Amino acid sequence: MSRKTLTSGTASLALLAAGLAFTGAVGAAEPLEVVVVEAAREATVGQTSTGVPIKEITIRSKVSYADLDLTSATGALNLENRIRETATSSCKEIKVDYPAAGSTEANCIKNAVDGAMVEARKAIEAKRSAAAKK
């Protein structure tokens, strides 16, 4: 490889790194308007090399509310419906891929929805509080 090609390649890499750093900084400044839905259940999925069982299956999904007006009852209800749909889909996927005795899809859905709604209620309250201050 010639010296000119190496220098050109180094300059290109430097520009790419600078661009990625700038993009990351811009993206980091904007808060994500998502709620994480975590569908989980305990199941033995394997074991370590020392024989310790590996237990737990989790699917984490992000539900966006960027397009919803959380200050309205309709917007808040739409977010809850999205959370419920995502939890149902994720729990069905876990049940199909990793069936386990004693684990119910209904419990998985309830736990996933309950966990995500804690985060959703905080987002709703923050949006309503910000709107009230305007």
**Residues 23 and 44 occupy one common structural domain:** no
- 38 Cα distance to chain centroid: 8
Per-residue confidence band for 110, with pLDDT thresholds at 50, 70 and 90: very high
Check whether residue 15 and residue 39 sit in a common domain: no
Same domain, 26 and 37: no
The reply to whether 60 and 118 lie within a common domain is yes
Domain extent at residue 63: 33-133
30 secondary structure, DSSP code: S
Residues 44 and 105 reside in one and the same domain: yes
Residues 6 or more apart in contact with residue 68 via CB below 8 angstroms: 75, 76, 78, 79
Higher pLDDT, 101 or 14: 101
Q: Are residues 79 and 128 in the same domain?
A: yes
* pLDDT at position 20: 43
Q: From CA 82, how far away is CA 80, in angstroms rounded?
A: 5
Average pLDDT over every residue of 117-129: 96
Assess whether 67 and 108 both reside in one domain: yes
79 and 20 within one domain: no
The model's pLDDT over 21-36, given as tens digits with 9 standing for 90+, comes to 444 444 444 568 999 9
- Across 92-114, average pLDDT: 82
Q: 81 versus 133: which is more confidently predicted? A: 81
Q: Is 45 found in the same domain as 25?
A: no
Regarding whether 110 and 83 lie in a shared domain, the answer is yes
Residues 6 and 52 in one domain: no
Count: domains in the chain: 2
